[in-house]
Amino acid sequence: MSQPGHATSSPRGSGVPALPIVGWLQTYQRADFGPDLVAGLTTAVMLVPQAMGYALLAGLPPIHGLYASLAPLLLYAVLGTSRQLAVGPVAMDSILVAGSVGTIATVGTENYILVAAALGVMVGVVQAGLGFLRAGFLVNFLSRPVVAGFTAAAALIIAASQLGHLLGVELPRTHHVHRVIWEAVRSASSWSWPTLAIGVSSIAALVLCKKRWPRVPAALFVVVAATLIVWALGLSGLGVSIVAEVPAGLPGFRLPSVDRSVLTELIPAAATIALVSFMEAISVGRTFAQAHRYDIYPNRELIALGFANMAGGVTGGYPIAGGFSRTAVNVRAGARTQLAALITCAVVVITLLVLTRAFFYLPKAALSAIIVAAVTGLIDIRGAAEVYRVKRADFYLLVLTFFATLSLGIQWGILVGVAASVLLFLVRTTRPYFAVLGRVPESQTYLNVARHPHAETIPGIILVRVDAQFYFGNVSFLKETVRALVRESETPVRYFVLEAAGVNDLDSAAAATLAELDEELAAQGVLLVLTRIKGPVRDVLQRTGLLEKLASEGRVYLSTHRAIEVLRSGMALPDLSAESDDPRDPADQVGCGMLNPDAPDPGKNFFETVRKRKP
C-alpha cells in the first residue's frame, strides 16, 4: 500500500469492490501495520472518554456511548471508502438525539434508551436507502453558510446543556441558552463548588493541552486525574456527581420495539440526523482523502454509515457520524487504512469487558468538560467574518440560521436554514444577472459598460448578455428588462442583440417568451438578434421553429462581433437559399452555420437543414 501523501490507486468507476475492505486488504503491506496500530490505540484513548461524554449529552447513561462505538466501528471499517474516517458518537448528533427523544420519553428511563436506539436504526435505514437510490447529492442543500450558522448555534446549545453537570445543579433541558444561563445564575446558592472546580480545571487542562501539546491524549489524562481526585478525596460524598456503576460486558443484540406512533414522531428527526451526520462524515472524509490523494464515494459512504447506524441501534447505541477531531487524531497518529478502526474497536471491547469498574468514581463534570472543550471549535468567528467580506447574502443566511437554531431548536433551525438557502437560490434565478455590453475601442471585445466605462455602446443597437438559464421563473424579468432597455434608450433602437453564451438551458416557457418578445419588438420596429447560442438552447429553439425563423432572416450569429459589424454597416442579410462562396473563416459567417466543417458538432449541418426546410 502506498505511503500517506503518495499517489494511490483508486477504484476505477464501477470496479469498486462491493466490500471496500477487500480492496485495501488485498494491497495491505506489512509496513502499514505499525502506523495503523499506533493510530488505533491513540484514537481509542480519545474515543472512550469522548463517547461516554457524548452519551451523557444525548441523555443516555455513559455506557451507551461505548456501545455506540463498537458495532458501528466494525461495520464502517468493512463498508466505508474512507481509509481514515473515525466514526462514533459526535456532539451534533448527540444533541439532536436529546432534543428529539426528550420530547417522547423521560430522560433516564428504559424507554428513553429504547427510543434512542430505534432512532439510530431509523437513521441507518434513511441513509442506506438514500445510498442505494444514489441520492448523495441531497447533502448539497446544506450550504456552507447554513452549516456554519447551525453549528455555531448548536455549539452554544451544547455548552449550555452541560452547565448543570459543571455546576452540580439541576437545570432545564432546553435549546433556549438564555433561559439555561438565567436558571444557573438563580441557583448560584446551590452550586457544588468541588464540582465546579473539577469542571473548570478540566476545561483549562484540555484547552492548554490542545494548544501546547496537541499529540497528548488530553481527554484520557483529564478522566484519569479527575477520577483519582474524586476517589482519593471522597468528593462523591460532598455533592460531586459520579458515573457510578457501569455494567460490564458486551452489549446484546436487540431490535428496538417501539409503538408505530413513536416511529412516526421520529421521522423528521431521523431525516435531519441522517443528513447532518452524512454531511459531517463526507466533509471530514473528503478533507483527508484529498490530502492523501485517493477517492471516496458519497453513495457508498451513505450505505456504510447507514449500516453502521443500524448496527449501533440494535446493540444499544444511538446515531453516530464521522468526527473531525477524532479523525484528525487518527491521521496524525499515522492511520493508513481502516485496520486502525478495527484496533480501536478491539480496545473498546477490552474496555467493556475488564475496565468498566475504573469508571465508578469518574465525575460527570469531567465528561461535560470534554464536551465543552470539543464544541468550542465549532464557533468559527473568522469564518463568519470571511463570509461577510466575500458575500453579504450568504452572511445574512448564516445569521438567520444561527438565530433560528437558538430560538426554534436544532431541528427547526437547520430546516429554516435549508429553506432560506433554497429560497435565496430561487430568488437569484428569478432575477438573473445581465449586462449591457459595449465595444472596447479598436478591438473585437465587448464588456459590461457598468464595470468598464471606456466600452462604447453602438447607437441604434442594444447588446445584452444574460448569465443564467431561462426558465418559467425568470421569463417575466427578461421581458421587463428588454422593454425597459428599449424604452429608456436615448436613441431609436433598431436591433436588440442578445448574446446567449451564458444561457445554458431554457424551457418551453422561456422559448415561448422569446417568440413573444420577437413579435413585440418587431411591432416597434426593433429586430431581435441572437448570438453565440449553445447547443442545448439551440436544440430547444429549433424544435419550437423560432431558430429556423430567425436563421432564415439572418438574425442568428456565431460571433457577437460579426453580428455588430453586419448590423452597423447595414449589410444586406444573406440569402440562405444560395450557397455561400465566402472564403473567410466559418466562425465569422452569418447564421447558424457550422463552426468547423470537419468537427463532429451536433449542429454541423444545421445551416443546410434550415435551407432544405425553407419553402
Q: pLDDT of 312-343, one tens digit each?
A: 999 999 999 988 888 888 888 888 899 999 99
Mean pLDDT, residues 409-436 taken together: 85
- Same domain, yes or no: 462 and 492: yes
572-590, pLDDT tens digit by residue? 344 333 333 333 333 333 4
Residues 225 and 255 in one domain: yes
473 pLDDT higher than 50: yes
Please indicate, yes or no, if residue 315 is contained in any of the structural domains: yes
Query: Could you tell me which residues are beta bridge partners of residue 461?
Result: 495
Confidence grade of residue 361 (pLDDT, cut at 50, 70, 90): very high
Do 368 and 458 belong together in one domain?
no
CATH number at residue 535: 3.30.750.24
The answer to whether residue 16 is domain-embedded is no
Structure letter (DSSP) for residue 590: B
Q: What is the pLDDT of residue 170?
A: 87
- Residue 9 pLDDT > 50: no
Give the model confidence (pLDDT) of 56-65 as tens digits: 989 999 999 9
> Taking residues 427-448, what's their average pLDDT?
89
- Helix%, strand%, coil% for the chain, nearest 5: 60, 5, 35
In this prediction, residue 283 has a pLDDT band, given cuts at 50, 70 and 90, of confident
Does residue 528 contact residue 521 with C-beta atoms inside 8 Å? yes
The answer to whether residue 29 sits within a structural domain is no
Is 13 a residue whose pLDDT tops 70? no
Q: Any idea which of 4-13, 85-94, 465-474 has the lowest mean pLDDT?
A: 4-13
The reply to whether 97 falls in a domain is yes
Mean pLDDT in residue range 429-442: 89
Residues 289 and 382 grouped into a single domain: yes
Measured CA to CA, the distance from residue 615 to residue 612 in angstroms comes to: 8
Per-residue confidence (pLDDT) for residue 339, from 0 to 100? 94
Using the predicted structure, report yes or no on whether residue 3 has a pLDDT greater than 50: no
CA distances to 37, 271, 282, 409 from 150, rounded to whole Å, are 36, 16, 17, 10
Q: Measure Cα distances from 319 to 111, 228, 273, 315, 464 in Å.
A: 16, 31, 8, 12, 53
Cell of 120: 439510530
| The domain boundary residue, chosen from 362, 387, 422 | 422
What CA–CA distance (Å, rounded) separates 251 from 229? 30
Mark whether 488 and 549 lie in a shared domain.
Answer: yes
372 within some domain? yes
Q: Is the pLDDT of residue 374 over 60?
A: yes
What's residue 270's pLDDT? 94
- The verdict on 446 and 418 lying in the same domain is no
Residue 509 has pLDDT above 50, yes or no: yes
- For residue 117, what is the enclosing H or E element? helix 110-132
What's the whole-number mean pLDDT along residues 395-409?
91
pLDDT, position 257 = 87
Residue 198 confidence (pLDDT) above 90: yes
Q: Nearest Cα to 60, choosing from 276, 298, 318, 308?
A: 318
Per-residue CA distances from 109 to 68, 241, 255, 514, 570 (Å) = 18, 18, 18, 65, 86
Residue 597 above 70 pLDDT? no
Same domain assignment for residues 264 and 154: yes
Mean pLDDT of 157-174: 87
Q: For residues 160 and 181, is the Cβ–Cβ distance under 8 A?
A: yes
Residue that finishes a domain, picked among 422, 443, 472: 422
The whole-chain average pLDDT of the chain stands at 84
Q: Is residue 176 scored above 60 in pLDDT? A: yes
Q: Which residue has the higher pLDDT, 264 or 141?
A: 264
Residue with cell 429608456: 488
- pLDDT higher than threshold 80 for residue 138: no
Mean pLDDT of 558-576: 73
Q: Domain for residue 23, yes or no?
A: no
Q: Where are the alpha helices (DSSP H) in 162-254?
A: 163-167, 177-186, 193-212, 218-233
pLDDT at 285 over 80: yes
If asked whether residues 448 and 547 sit together in one domain, one would say: yes
Going by pLDDT thresholds of 50, 70 and 90, the confidence category of residue 155 is: confident
SS (H, E, C) 269-313: HHHHHHHHHHHHHHHHHHHHHHHCCCCCCHHHHHHHHHHHHHHHH
User: 422, 441, 475: which is the final residue of a domain?
Assistant: 422
412 plus 453 within the same structural domain: no
pLDDT (mean) for 553-564 = 91
How many independent structural domains does the chain possess? 2
Residues 338 and 288 in one domain: yes
Residues 482 and 381 in one domain: no
- Please calculate the CA angle 473-475-478 and round it to the nearest 5 degrees: 130
Nearest to 87 by CA among 142, 132, 43, 124: 43
pLDDT at 348 over 80: yes
For residues 532-536, give the mean pLDDT: 91
Q: Is residue 579 part of a domain?
A: yes
The answer to whether 380 touches 56, Cβ cutoff 8 Å, is: no
Asked whether residue 415 falls in the same domain as residue 439, the answer is no
Is 367 contained in some domain?
yes
Residue 615: is its pLDDT beyond 60?
A: no
Q: Report the pLDDT value the prediction gives residue 16, as an integer from 0 to 100.
A: 62
Supply the range of the domain harboring residue 384.
34-422
pLDDT at 250 exceeding the cut of 50: yes
